[in-house]
Structure formats: structure tokens, C-alpha cells
Amino acid sequence: MDLAFVHARIVTPFRIIEDGALVTEGSTIAAVGESAGIAIPARARRIDLGGKWLTPGFVDLLVHGGGGHGFADPDGDGVRRISEFFFRHGTTGLLGALYSKPDPELTADVARIAGFVTGQRSNIWGIHLEGPYINSDLHGAMKAEYIWKPDIRSWERLYTASGGTIRLMTIAPELEGVEEIMRAAARHGVVLSIGHSAASYHDVLNAIDNGAAHVTHMFNAMRPFHHREPGVVLGALLHNELKIELIADGIHVHPAVMKLLYNVKGEGGIVLITDAIRASGMPDGEYTFMDQTIAVRGKRAYLADGTLAGSTLTMEEAVKTMVRQVDVPVTNAIRMATFNGAKVLGVSHRKGILAVGKDADLVVLDPDFKVQMTVFEGEPRFSTL
């Protein structure tokens, strides 16, 4: 059924249309504008939003799991449940993140996620490989012994197992022998993201030349800024070729530092992500992540040694953080959660924007940024309306 949203505050996300209307036809947007100027087809289901926000569906480039399930679980049904969980939180496009594991296990994980991605139309668009070619000194919550030494043959096995569904890969460009992998991945259209890395500033520049265009969870799993020994942080701040991921939960990065990032990179240079783990949406307690026990207390996830281990964030909360704690305009916060991620993946001609002819991926938010409805390619996938 076609849908007609009326009396909405539409965030396109480049502007706000007050008292706006949007009509879907099949899987696409057929009309958008001020309510007074949009004719509502008789066949469409009319939904009066009464001033609620209507935005593009969220795009999240780094998700390990949610709702009690993880992408690295061998249970195939878990992937479907993760998809449903994130529809409830407004995410209409995400990358399933896989962390470093021994070769047979990681290859099996890649093949399993690829089977889901290619087997059905869903909000899981592909795979983000967080590793396995990362710096063992900055392994974060991953087990250091699971990190692979760069070898082009091992990369070729992973990519073949993925059937082309690896869309983004976190990589440490300073590792010996990694350039060959970077070039091969870039030629296949994989977005290369610098992360879990001790790269020097020169290494960062070289990585850009070899296809790097992104930085994984800014400030986390990288050396702090140093004025005499610049590295990934400075490279990310200085170079517009690099878009940066930001976990906007107020835990991984202080709101004042997020404000600095916003002032330097602008609304076009930041991509909001969750880095969510299976504990997202679950009560406090103990869970497993990266083959280790983690404790979740007050939405914070830690290993026993105090290392942050992913997050319990969802994208509507990330948007709320940017607006309420960082003083970012709603339009720009929504852009960071929608259009920018779609642009990184090369699909912003269809996704992450509300305009005629684009995919009808929509989210309805109440004034407190709680998700009221999620529409994926014209089909309601969650609703409390």
C-alpha cells in the first residue's frame, strides 16, 4: 500500500519542511513538499504525524549486533533478529561487522553473512570487516592472537567467501605487506578505513593514495594526538579525503571533543555509527563479545580490564546526543546519521535523502527522538502509530 504522511516536520536532511507531506508509491518517494501543495492519492494510507519528525532511514556502517544477538554468532537466525532489532530503532541500512578470528572461523562468518545479504532484501547491506589486518598493539577488545599478518592470498579467500558483500574494511596501513591488500580491496570497491592503527602521518597520506577514505571510530583504538608525532588523528582532522566515524554516545568521545570534531570536519565529514554489540537493547549484565566476557552497566560495556568493548548505542540516541549535548542543528545531526553513510557506500543517489524518485526509507521520530515508525523501501517494518 502507498503511504501519505501529512503534517510532518520533514528533515530532507538538508532542510526542514515545516508542516510537510510525503507520498510513497511502491518502493520510492513520489512527492514531497509542504502539505498544502501535495495532493494525497485516494489509494494511499494517510498518516497524520501531528508535527513529528520525518527523516531518511538511518545508515549505520559499524554494527556487531543487538537485541541479544551478534553477527559473529554461528546461529543463522540471529542475523534476521538483528535486522528486526535495528528496524525498531530506525536503521534502514547497516553493515554487519565481523571482528578478527582464526582463519576458518572468520571465513565461515563472512560466508554466512554473505548468504543472508544476497538471499533477501533487508536493511543489512553488506559486511564491515573490522580487521583482521590491524595493529596488535591497538587491538581494543579483540584478542591479539586472532589478528592476521597481511597476506594477499588470505584476503582473496575472504573476499571470495563474501561473494562481493564486503563493503568496508578497517585496516592498519602501517603494517608490512598491507599495501597489496589495500590495493586489491580498493579495486573491488571496498571502502578502506584506517583503524586499530598506530600509523604515522606519512602512513596516513600513503594510505589515502592506496584507497583509504574513512577512519574507524575516531579517537578509539588509535594513538592520541601528539604535536610532534602526528598520526591518524591529525590525518583525519586535516584531510577531507577521510570521513570519520563517530560513536556519539557521550562515553567513547566527550561531547566537547565531539564539538571540536564538528567544528573541524563539518556536517559532511562525520558519519555517526553505533558500534553496537549484542547487549544493545538488553538489560545490564554479563554478555560475550569477541570471545570474551563483558560487563554492561549503565549502557557502558567493558572488558574485565576496563577496556571499552563496543557500545549499546542505537542511532536515534546518537542523533539525540548530537543535538542535545553537542548543539548540532537537527538537519546536520540527521545528515550524519543518514546521507553521509550512504555517500561513503556510493548509494546516496538512492538512499539517505528524502526526494522524489529516491528509495522510500523513512523514520518517524517523536520530539524526544524516539522511533515511532520505520519504513523500508515503501514497506512499514516497525510502527507504534
Q: Which domains does the chain have, with CATH numbers?
A: 3-55+352-383 (2.30.40.10), 58-344 (3.20.20.140)
Per-residue model confidence (pLDDT) at position 307: 81
Per-residue model confidence (pLDDT) at position 292: 80
pLDDT averaged over every residue in the chain:
95
Per-residue model confidence (pLDDT) at position 166: 98
pLDDT single digits (tens) 90-149: 999 999 999 999 999 999 999 999 999 999 899 999 999 999 999 998 887 788 899 999
Q: Per-residue pLDDT averaged across 170-189, rounded?
A: 97
Per-residue model confidence (pLDDT) at position 249: 93
Per-residue model confidence (pLDDT) at position 27: 97
pLDDT single digits (tens) 133-158: 999 988 877 888 999 999 999 999 99
Q: How far is CA 137 from CA 151, 172, 176, 198, in A?
A: 19, 11, 14, 8
Please say if 284 is a catalytic residue.
no
User: In this predicted structure, which of 165-179, 193-207, 281-295 has the lowest mean pLDDT?
Assistant: 281-295
Other Cβ atoms within 10 Å of 184 Cβ, number: 15
Exactly one of 249, 275, 359, 361 is catalytic; name it: 275
Q: Per-residue pLDDT averaged across 68-86, rounded?
A: 92
pLDDT single digits (tens) 15-44: 999 999 999 999 999 999 999 999 999 999
Q: Is the pLDDT assigned to residue 194 strictly greater than 90?
A: yes
Q: Are 90 and 58 in contact (CB under 8 A)?
A: yes
Confidence band (pLDDT; 50, 70, 90) for 295? Answer: confident
pLDDT single digits (tens) 316-365: 999 999 999 999 999 999 999 999 999 999 999 999 999 999 999 999 99
Q: Per-residue pLDDT averaged across 224-247, rounded?
A: 95
